[in-house]
Structure formats: C-alpha cells, structure tokens
Amino acid sequence: DGGITQSPKYLFRKEGQNVTLSCEQNLNHDAMYWYRQDPGQGLRLIYYSQIVNDFQKGDIAEGYSVSREKKESFPLTVTSAQKNPTAFYLCASRKRDTQYFGPGTRLTVL
C-alpha cells in the first residue's frame, strides 16, 4: 500500500537531548513538509522540501533541522535549542495541489 509513515507514534526524551523523527513516503511525491501542532493552534510549518537535496525553512524553523538525501525520506531533528519541543509533529507530502499527511509523532520532552 502507498502512504506516508511516521515512527514512532509516541516518543519521550529528556530535556537537552536531540531527537530525530522519521518520515517515509512511497507515493513518489517530490515535495514534503514538516508541521508542528499544539493544542488550540493551527498547524505551523517547520521545514519543507520541494526536491531531493534541497529544503527551506518554514515559519518556525528555529531549533529544528532536516535533511533530504532520498526522495522517500525527510527526517526532522528536534535539537536541544528548541525551547518548547513537546508537541504533535506531522509530516506531509504533496501531489499536485494537495498535501497528504502521515499519522504523526507525539513528542514529549521530560
């Protein structure tokens, strides 16, 4: 089946540790996106990539980093510089006009 996978679904980390969230898609989509969702707020764009080996900062990129070495994969690293990392993280890929989302990873930093 084609789709977007994110793992793990729940992730716990200690403050001060970097953590990498995975996002994989087998839909052959060029563009991929990372969003953060906090309670009562809309999705906010962290980073996006339109093609392999290229990515751009979104609206809230500080404290995050990404890579796009393969078309299928767009991992997000939450660094210790991110002041408030506890959130629900959503990855998406785009076909023509529409973005399709993965199941999300809920990150809790203790």
**Contacts to another protein by CB under 8 A:** 31, 33, 35, 40-45, 48, 50, 56, 58, 88, 90, 94, 97-104, 106
Q: How far is the CB of 37 from another protein (least distance, A)?
A: 9
Ramachandran area for residue 53 (φ above 0: left; ψ -120 to 50: alpha; else beta): left
Q: How far is the CB of 104 from another protein (least distance, A)?
A: 6
Distance from CA of residue 60 to its chain's centroid?
12
Q: How far is the CB of 16 from another protein (least distance, A)?
A: 27
| 33: nearest Cα among 42, 44, 41 | 44
Toward another protein, which CB reaches closer, 16 or 41? 41
Q: How far is the CB of 40 from another protein (least distance, A)?
A: 6
Burial class (CB in 10 A: 0-12, 13-18, 19+), 79: middle
Toward another protein, which CB reaches closer, 1 or 15? 1
Toward another protein, which CB reaches closer, 9 or 83? 9
- Here the tokens at position 95 are 């076909």
